[in-house]
């Protein structure tokens, strides 16, 4: 911990440990950070990815309140769930009261009751995520590993904790593959068998939860590996029979990453996944994943524009014509088509729109046109549009050019 946690985080963890001791509560570091510490993951040091999970045997909300009083943290408590979030400038801490979970039926959210650390580790997804580090003053830094997570880390295996794990919560199927591909691990033999047996349990998971897991996949460095593997295991077609994880997807995901900022990538990946879909196939996926309106518009636009590409490819167009043709589409749909299409005239038009045309503005505005004697209303609208077209096509450059053109247009109108 001393080697891999940023100083600020380490001090805070020590502070929490002290406060917990005063309240006679036991607190542990759990989940991803424990796994990554044992893997000596260098990205821990950068402090970029900080969300720490702590489990409290006792009352997490009470402990969080205490810590918030003596530090610069914003506290967000959920009494009902026994959880609290402490938000610092560069990272967040999640504190949860140790709990036991039971599943009334597959795919449902679990019923939660307070429990011990052992209960809390048993409800987790994989052995490598089911370890804890004690922060109690007696035994500070001691590893708690009841499910042989450390051995699985050494053997590079993803292993579930009991045979009903995937049917209790089939999002774990998607999580298993995500960790497998991120870490370069393998599914342990029985886990792989159970995963295949329980693939159909994905049907019990709500659209929102599946979508959330896909979003997590899209935050990975190489989501195409995860998608390909999900296809291989039959999980992708269980979500929608039309989804593919082939070489085309891999190539386009890679291209998207080289062109776009990380925040824009998830929506781009979604639209690339449906690039070969028909309208009905899109409709089916939108319904299954409960896709929000904006993304759903972008998906439909992606397809609508795709069918226009042959026309764009065979028609020499002026910049103003390109602009007025493309402006009715969601910019995301234009980006997706620029990435998904092959080098062509159509692709150059799309890129021209995205990098230049959509930012072109006239120098004159309505106020200035009024001063030139052009009255507000349809006439002015027309003049502004003609000026904009002339500017797009390079027929006017300076403000003086625009004035001249406006004055020559106005009497004709
Ligand atoms: P990451 O590096 O992806 O953030 P993480 O292990 O921190 O990895 P989170 O999604 O932040 O993953 O979840 C925190 C912990 O909660 C996990 O380590 C795991 O123990 C547990 N967990 C999360 N989702 C599930 C689930 N569906 N079933 C069981 N346990 C889960
Ligand atoms: Mg995490």
List alpha helices for 39-139, DSSP H: 43-46, 60-69, 117-122
Distance separating alpha carbons of residues 317 and 340, to the nearest angstrom: 21
Q: What digits encode the pLDDT tens for the residues 166-200?
A: 999 999 999 999 999 999 999 999 999 999 999 99
- Please tell me the pTM assigned to this model: 0.92
Mean pLDDT of the chain: 93
**What pLDDT sits at residue 62?**
94
Q: How far is the CA of 142 from the centre of ligand 2 (A)?
A: 20
Report DSSP letters for 372-386, one per residue.
Answer: TTPPTTHHHHHHHHH
- Identify the residue whose C-alpha is closest to ligand 1 atom 1: 32
Residues enclosing ligand 1, CB less than 6 A? 31-32, 53, 124-125, 129-130, 169, 171-172
Q: What digits encode the pLDDT tens for the residues 262-318?
A: 888 999 999 999 999 999 999 999 999 999 999 999 999 999 999 999 999 998 999
Average pLDDT over residues 104-123: 90
**What pLDDT sits at residue 257?**
95
Average pLDDT over residues 120-127: 97
3 state DSSP class of 356: coil
Q: Are 231 and 248 in contact (CB under 8 A)?
A: no
Residue closest to 178 by CA, chosen among 212, 142, 216? 216
Report DSSP letters for 155-216, one per residue.
Answer: HTEE-BSSTTHHHH-THHHHHHHHHHHHHT-EE-HHHHHHHHHTGGGGGGS-HHHHHHHHHH
- Rounded to the nearest 5°, which phi and psi values hold at 194? -70, -35
3 state DSSP class of 123: coil
Give the number of whichever ligand sits closest to the CA of residue 92.
2
Question: Which ligand 1 atom sits closest to the C-alpha of 123?
Answer: 29
Q: Which residues sit opposite 144 in a β-bridge?
A: 132
- Identify the residue whose C-alpha is closest to ligand 1 atom 4: 32
Question: Which ligand 1 atom sits closest to the C-alpha of 130?
Answer: 20
Predicted confidence band of residue 108 (pLDDT cuts 50, 70, 90)? confident
Give the number of whichever ligand sits closest to the CA of residue 44.
1
**What pLDDT sits at residue 47?**
65
Q: Are 253 and 267 in contact (CB under 8 A)?
A: no
Q: How far is the CA of 32 from the centre of ligand 2 (A)?
A: 5
413 has pLDDT over 80:
no
**What pLDDT sits at residue 341?**
95
């Amino acid at each position: 911990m001393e080697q891999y946690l940023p100083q600020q985080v380490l001090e805070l963890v020590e502070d929490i440990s002290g406060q917990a001791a005063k309240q006679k509560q036991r607190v542990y570091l759990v989940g991803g950070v424990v796994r990554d510490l044992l893997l000596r993951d260098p990205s821990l040091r950068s402090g970029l990815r900080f969300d720490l999970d702590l489990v409290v045997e006792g009352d997490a909300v009470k402990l969080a309140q205490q810590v918030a009083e003596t530090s610069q943290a914003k506290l967000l408590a959920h009494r009902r769930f026994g959880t609290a979030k402490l938000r610092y400038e560069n990272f967040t801490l999640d504190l949860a009261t140790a709990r036991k979970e039971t599943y009334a039926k597959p795919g449902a959210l679990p019923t939660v009751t307070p429990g011990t650390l052992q209960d809390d580790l048993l409800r987790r997804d994989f052995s490598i995520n089911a370890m804890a580090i004690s922060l109690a003053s007696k035994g500070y830094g001691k590893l708690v590993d009841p499910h042989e997570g450390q051995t699985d880390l050494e053997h590079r295996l993803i292993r579930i904790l009991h045979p009903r794990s995937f049917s209790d919560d089939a999002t774990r199927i998607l999580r298993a593959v995500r960790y497998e591909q991120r870490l370069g691990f393998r599914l342990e033999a029985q886990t792989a068998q159970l995963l295949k047996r329980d693939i159909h349990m994905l049907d019990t998971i709500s659209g929102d939860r599946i979508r959330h897991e896909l979003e997590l996949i899209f935050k990975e460095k190489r989501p195409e590996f995860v998608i390909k593997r999900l296809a291989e295991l039959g999980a992708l077609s269980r979500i929608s029979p039309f989804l593919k994880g082939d070489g085309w997807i891999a190539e386009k995901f890679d291209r998207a990453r080289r062109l776009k900022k990380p925040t824009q990538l998830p929506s781009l990946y979604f639209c690339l996944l449906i690039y070969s879909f028909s309208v009905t196939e899109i409709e089916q996926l939108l319904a299954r994943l409960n896709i929000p309106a904006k993304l759903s518009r972008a998906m439909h636009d992606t397809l609508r524009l795709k069918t226009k590409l042959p026309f764009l490819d065979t028609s020499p167009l002026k910049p103003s014509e390109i602009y007025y043709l493309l402006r009715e589409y969601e910019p995301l749909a234009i980006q997706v088509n620029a990435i998904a299409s092959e080098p062509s005239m159509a692709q150059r038009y799309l890129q021209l729109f995205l990098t230049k045309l959509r930012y072109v503005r006239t120098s004159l505005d309505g106020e200035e046109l009024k001063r030139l004697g052009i009255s507000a209303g349809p006439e002015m609208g027309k003049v502004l549009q003609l000026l904009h077209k002339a500017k797009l096509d390079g027929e006017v450059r300076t403000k003086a050019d625009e004035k001249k053109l406006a004055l020559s247009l106005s009497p004709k109108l």
